[in-house]
Structure formats: structure tokens, C-alpha cells
Amino acid sequence: MYKIGVIGGDGTGPEVVKEGMKVLKAISGKYDIKFDFIHYDFGGKRYLKTGEVLPDAAIEEFRKLDAIYLGAIGHPDVKPGILEKGLLLKLRFALDQYINLRPVKLYPGVDTPLKDKSPDDIDFTVVRENTEGLYAGAGGTLKKGTADEVAIQESINTRKGVERCLRYAFDYCRKRNKDKKLTLCGKTNVLTFAFDLWERAFYDVAKEYSDIKTDYAHVDATCMWMVKNPEWFDVIVTDNMFGDIITDLGAMIQGGMGIAAGGNINLDEGGTSMFEPIGGSAPKYTGKNVINPMAAICAAGMMLEHLGESKAADDIEKAVIKVVQNDMKSLSAGKMGHTTSEIGDMVAKEVA
């Protein structure tokens, strides 16, 4: 029995996690896995009603869960930053989910904007550091609103934080067993403090992984290669900000936000990880039953993999591949040829 905290969140979030839960329920019969879903209504609506974003008591409760399944965070009537920092980033930081794992995989039959690239070419994973860097919130403002205003936003990089991320990436690359190649994505030519630490740690840790080839690319060049030669990548490890940026690009080359999933992972004993579609809350599609739930379904699959239910996770991926290839006209909202709930039904039927 797995205790799963479900935060549907804002916009289309609740609609897509509903389909993910449908698929999880369908697979639970097959493998005798049981889920206890505990629902939380955190998000924009609750904030607008009560002023509460995420109380500390909830975080203490989350620590006892086996995992969190998250829909989307972001509400058009709430000032940017309040929910993102107060809910999503607070969860990632408070639960010390130090890895953001984002596979970029083009499934057969899915359109990619990259001409002449196929599923053989687009299949890599980004390991994004998830608790430090520019996201740490270090910095401040002086003389705000005046002509002399100063704004400082600092990137925090600790040897411990960087090293545990790198170790995860090396281990992941070994386990993935594809090209056994790990690329550090940075900016050593300009960010000569932060990425000096990253680079030294990278090559130090690499000594313990003689079976893994190491490579380095600046972040701008990484963007270029992701479009021109995505087949060069196996696993990419990078900091929080660069990881955020390159995984949106990654989502686009794998067929869009409708299919891109990610995990916020804490591998420590008793740690609670969180799985989510990486796209936003898509307010304009909310409540219309047109949003693509595949990213949320894939996130549910990643959650099962994390929980050690590899067979069930595999089944979900196979079902997604089948439905995407045979039944969906497009992965874009409103153009799928089916409703949100029909897609969930099809995947559920396939896994059962």
C-alpha cells in the first residue's frame, strides 16, 4: 500500500492528475499494488480564498507519504512568484528533492519540429539540480523604486549540493546503460566561480565512474546541439536555472508539453519525492476536457519506477506509446482527436 499525496493544483492540473490516477488504479489490480490517495487542495483557489499557500504542518504530513503526485501550479489571478515560490519551490526545497529528473524521449509516431530526427535520435535525460543555484532565493533589493535601484540575485552552489547531484547523474547514467556518456552543461567561460566548482566536482566524481564517458558543453551550445544533434546526448547534468531552460527546449523536441514529465527526487532514507507533468496550468484550456493528460500519466509511471514497481512503470510507458502512436492525432490540447478523459480511458484499458 502506497500513500500518495495528490495535489491537483491550478488550471488543468486536477484534470490531468485524475487521468493519471485512473491509470494507476487500472494497474493496481494487475500487480496487486494498492494506493491510498490523499487529496490536498493547495493552489491558487485556496490562496485567493484563505491567503494560505502551504502551511508547515502540511509539509510535516508530506514527509510521511511515499510520494506526491502534482498537477500544476500557477493561477492567472495570483501575482507571479507567490504560488511558484510558496508552493512548488517550497515543496522541492523543504522536502530536499535535490534532483529534477526530466527524460526527453521522442515516442514513435510523435511529431517533432526537428526535421529528419527520429526516436532513435531523441532519447536522453536531463538531471537538473533542484535545490540551489539562482533558485535558492539569495539576494535582495536596495533603493527599490528609485533611479538608484539595485537588484542582486545570487547563484548558490555548494560542494555538497553539486556533488550529490553529480553522483546521482553518474549512477543514473550507469543504470540507464545506453551510451554511458554524461555531459556536464554549464558556462565555465563566464560563470567562472559557480561552474569552476561544478567542473572540478564533475571530474573528481568521474574518477569513481571509469565506465562512464564524460563530456562538457556550455549551455548555449547545449541548446544548439539539442536541436542539431540530439543523438549526441545520453544524460545531461546541469544546475537549476540551466536545467529549467533546456528542459523546455527538450519538451518541445519530444513532442511538446503534453508528453513531458519529470520527477523531483530525494533518494535519502525516508525522503519524499514528487512527480509532475512539466508544463504549466494552461488556464485557457481549464475545464474543457481538451488538455493532453499524457505528461501526467508518464509522471505517474515515473513515480512507480521510483517506488520500485518497474514492471508496472514499463507497462504504463508501453501503453502510452501504443495510444500515442495508434489513437492520437496530435499531442496538442484540443487537437488530440479525443478528450482528456478518453485518453485516460484508453491508457487505462491498455495497461489493465
> Other CB atoms closer than 10 Å to residue 38's CB: what's the count?
15
Strand segments (E) across 120-234: 123-129, 133-142, 150-156, 181-186, 213-218
Minimum CB separation of residue 127 from Mn ion in Å reads 15
- Region of 41-49, 81-89, 178-186, 313-321 interacting with ligand IPM (CB under 6 A): 81-89
**Per the structure block, which three cell numbers stand in for 117?**
530526427
CB-count burial class (<10 Å; 0-12, 13-18, 19+) for 341: middle
| Helices 294-306 & 13-31 angle (0-180, nearest 10) | 50
- Set of cell numbers at residue 107: 515516442
Cell 529528419 found at: 116
The least distance separating ligand IPM from the CB of residue 98, rounded to whole angstroms, comes to 13
Choose the stretch contacting Mn ion; rule: CB under 5 A; options: 89-97, 136-144, 172-180, 237-245.
237-245
Question: Residue 249 and residue 259: Cα distance in Å, rounded?
Answer: 13
102: three-class secondary structure by DSSP: strand
Buried-state track 229-251, b at ≥16 Cβ within 10 A, e below 16: ebebbbbbbbbbbbbbebbebbb
Binding status of residue 244 toward Mn ion by CB under 5 A: yes
**Which of ligand IPM, Mn ion, none does 179 bind, CB closer than 5 to 8 A by kind?**
none
Scan for cell 545531461, then name that residue.
236
User: 3-state class of 291 per DSSP?
Assistant: coil
Does residue 54 bind ligand IPM (CB under 6 A)?
Answer: no
- From Mn ion, ligand IPM, none, interface partner of 19 (C-beta below 5 to 8 A by class): none
What would the x/- binding string for ligand IPM be over residues 274 to 313, using CB under 6 A? Answer: ----x-----------------------------------
- Choose between 65 and 295: whose C-beta lies nearer to ligand IPM: 295
244 near ligand IPM, judged by CB under 6 A: yes
88 vs 212, beta carbon nearer ligand IPM: 88
Q: Which residue is nearest to ligand IPM (CB)?
A: 84
Q: Please, which residue, 258 or 344, has the CB nearer to Mn ion?
A: 258
Q: Does 61 sit near ligand IPM (CB under 6 A)? A: no
- Which residue stretch of 84-92, 119-127, 143-151, 332-340 sits at the interface with ligand IPM (rule: CB under 6 A)? 84-92
* Cell output for 290: 481538451
Task: Report the largest interatomic distance among the alpha carbons of the chain, rounded to a whole angstrom.
Answer: 65
83 binds, among ligand IPM, Mn ion, none (CB under 5 to 8 A by kind): none
SS3 164: helix
- 96 makes contact, choosing from ligand IPM, Mn ion, none, with CB < 5 to 8 Å by partner type, with none
Angle at 314 between CA 310 and CA 317, to 5 degrees: 140
94 torsion bin: left (phi>0), alpha (psi -120 to 50), beta (else):
alpha
Count of positions on this chain that bind ligand IPM (CB under 6 A): 5
CB of 126 to ligand IPM, least distance (A): 11
The distance of closest approach from Cβ of residue 318 to ligand IPM in the complex, given in angstroms and rounded to an integer, is 26
For residue 84, the partner it binds in ligand IPM, Mn ion, none, with Cβ less than 5 to 8 A by kind, is ligand IPM
CB 265 within 8 A of CB 306: yes
Could you tell me the smallest distance in angstroms from the CB atom of residue 88 to ligand IPM? 5
- Does residue 123 interact with Mn ion by CB under 5 A? no
Q: Which residues contact 288 (CB under 8 A, 6 or more apart)?
A: 334
Total Cβ atoms within 10 A of residue 192: 10
Site string for ligand IPM, 132-171 (x = CB under 6 A): ----------------------------------------
Determine if 88 is a binding residue for ligand IPM (CB under 6 A).
yes
Q: Which residues bind Mn ion (CB under 5 A)?
A: 244
Kindly list the residues in this chain that would bind ligand IPM in the complex (CB under 6 A).
84, 88-89, 244, 278
